[in-house]
Amino acid sequence: ISHAKGRFWKAEEAEEAFAAVKGATEGTVRAVTRKSRTSKPPAPFNTTSLQAAAAAEGLAPGRTMRLAESLYMDGYISYPRVDNTVYPSSLDLAEVVRTIAGNPAYAPYCKELLAKGTLTATRGKKETTDHPPIYPTAKATPDDLPPAEYKLYNLVARRFLATLSNPAVVEGTKVSLDVAGEPFVAKGDVLAVPGFRAIYPYGLKKDETLPALAEGATIAFNGATCAKKQTEPPARYSQGKLIQEMEKLGLGTKSTRHAIIERLYQVKYIQNDPIEPSQLGMAVVDALDKFA
């Protein structure tokens, strides 16, 4: 629960609101509103989006590409160095679903997809004709591959199935409260219709279920806190985010961006993840700025 105003930019206003609710033990529900929003299935994987998604799961871009090359050479996924995010019409989507349905973890979901009849895939913004987006080309289970390779294969397979799925529906609830004349709000989200999220849980926030409340109800108020904070700088880039930013800025290519980042780590110009410039890296930049 937070004050309806959110952040107070003036200390005296915050202190005034805090003083008003100090000692209050209950609040009144003024309104309960519910809104549903649709979450669309993701686009097919190209090299950049695969690296970004894998980085969020703990696989650095350089390692992701080595694993992807190995999976490709062994016939488990399609060619991993692509810009394309639109499946070509020549790709038999249903046949790919039938192929990977041999994995028991995917089998029930694959059966549901095939029962729909015609499969329609999502489309990304980049369409080229050299190679299709990255998709699974053979069945694999945890028994068939080393753990790291299966982790990446599982991501690719689930992403492929997600691109053929229905949207997810999230129901948001907002409760407006009155505590001693001060407005407060509580918000919660629940996954109402799983859709593609049933097979692709990556990045999904946990449900935040609010108790059932009705307008006019009285609830217990357990006190408030008032904290003074400064505005924070933007978050540092993770390796996955940096790959995406390099693509936007036209730095490197789909085949070299991960290697550039790896090299910066090797020569100790950057460190940690999220990425921080090292003293050496900053000294090099300063020297280039001054003399080059």
Residue 79 annotated as catalytic: yes
**Which residues are within 8 A (CB) of 42 and not within 5 positions of it... i.e. 6 or more apart?**
122, 159, 162, 163, 196, 200
Phi-psi region of 178 (alpha: psi -120 to 50; beta: other; left: phi over 0): beta
165, burial (CB in 10 Å: exposed 0-12, middle 13-18, buried 19+): buried
Choosing from 72, 76, 79, 153, the catalytic residue is 79
Ranges of H-type helices in the chain = 11-21, 47-56, 61-73, 93-100, 107-115, 147-163, 239-249, 257-266, 279-291
Partners of 188 in beta bridges: 173
Residues serving a catalytic function are 79
